Amino acid sequence: MTPKNIAVAGATGAVGAEFVSVLEKRNFPVKNIKFLASARSVGKKITFKGEEFAVEEMTKDSFKGMDVALFSAGGSQSKIYAQSCVDVGCVMVDNSSAFRMTPDVPLVIPEINPEDVKWHKGIIANPNCSTIIMLMAVYPIYQLSKVKRVIVSTYQAASGAGAKAMKELEDQARDFLDGKPVKKEVLPYQIAFNLFSHNTKIGDDGYNEEEVKMIKETNKILHDENIKVTPTCVRVPVLRAHSESIVVETEQKLSLDAVRSAIAKFPGCQLVDDREKNYFPMPLEVSGEYDCKVGRIRYDYTFDNGIALFVCGDQLLKGAALNAVQIAELL
């Protein structure tokens, strides 16, 4: 691959920091790199491959001469700057939900639908973190037999709400243990020693926005309008990795051995399924890891062809920065 000019938009955020580390660790061929954030961050420094870079304020001119912009500055910023990227031929790989359901924007998990990057028109969307982590566990099964439905409950880390929410969890835990009043500034309810329904708006049908994303994005990524998904998304007091309890109904009856072997072989997945030791995937053990871990594989008793499983994946990596850098690698 010829070295590319890369812009990291939202470089001071939780995902932004992971963009930097993933580009470094994967030895992405970088010619020039710039780090963009709001005016508040001008003057901050970011170290990349041993060299210090000053954070620049993101403006509409920031993308001239850039080949790829990795965006994680929130959906409103993605909407403001998308045209500026497209106009100068800089491909926007966008981590926000701004363009995920736009018909001419591919929504890509490189292990699942890499061919979709080919039809991009300047913007490629990174799916929602919960969708990515769910499909990393479901797709190996889908390859054995079409999946008719997915029932999923998420246990989502604070990182999904950004660096400030991670700090809020730490601060609340400290204050709670010190007997001090707990402050709530980012998340709507106390997250330390608690959990609550995902902090996105609830629609008329009772599903919140995160749940709707999981439903619609699954159809788009798999190019399968028939697969039905019922999610329940919950925020839990974990710092940075999401977990999901999943039941799938397949068209054909599958053996558990076939499912285990498909998951173990699938790139980006590790099988962690030790019934004897009661040892299964845990969010702490995937934090900082590229692979998702999948286990608790067993038959579901409520469907004829039902399989239950549990997956953990690092929300900031496979759920965000790693997936986006993998998309840039495909480009």
Residue where the block lists tokens 């004897």: 276
Q: Work out how close the CB of 54 gets to ligand A2P at its nearest, in angstroms, rounded to a whole number.
A: 13
Our CB check for ligand A2P shows the closer of 25 and 164 to be 164
Per DSSP, 192 falls in state T
Where on the chain is the footprint of ligand A2P (CB under 6 A)? 10-14, 16, 37-38, 40-41, 58, 73-74, 77, 162-164
- Amino acid letter for position 194: N
Phi, psi of 279 (to 5 degrees): -115, 115
Select which of 242, 269, 292, 312 is catalytic: 242
Evaluate whether 84 touches 21 at the Cβ level (below 8 Å): no
Of 59 and 226, the one with the shorter C-beta distance to ligand A2P is 59
Q: How far is the CB of 313 from ligand A2P (least distance, A)?
A: 18
Through-space distance between the first and last CA atoms of the chain, rounded to whole angstroms: 9
What is the dihedral sign for C-alpha 268, 71, 202, 222? negative
Min separation Cβ 9 and ligand A2P, Å: 7
3-state SS assignment for residue 311: strand
Residue 150: CB minimum distance to ligand A2P, A: 27
129 is a catalytic site residue: yes
Q: Which is nearer to ligand A2P, 121 or 164 (CB)?
A: 164
- The nearer residue to ligand A2P, 46 or 91, going by C-beta atoms, is 46
Single out the residue of 102, 135, 98 nearest to residue 121, CA to CA: 102
Count the residues in the chain: 331
Q: Tell me which of 85, 90, 120, 129 is the catalytic residue.
A: 129
CA nearest to 162, candidates 81, 235, 63? 235
H/E element, 228: strand 228-235
Could you tell me the smallest distance in angstroms from the CB atom of residue 66 to ligand A2P? 15
Tokens of 227: 């697969």
Question: Is 292 one of the catalytic residues?
Answer: no
- Judged by beta carbon, residue 74 or residue 106, the one nearer ligand A2P is 74
Tell me the Cα Rg of the chain.
20
Confirm if 256 and 248 have CB atoms less than 8 A apart. no
Q: Which residues belong to the active site?
A: 129, 242
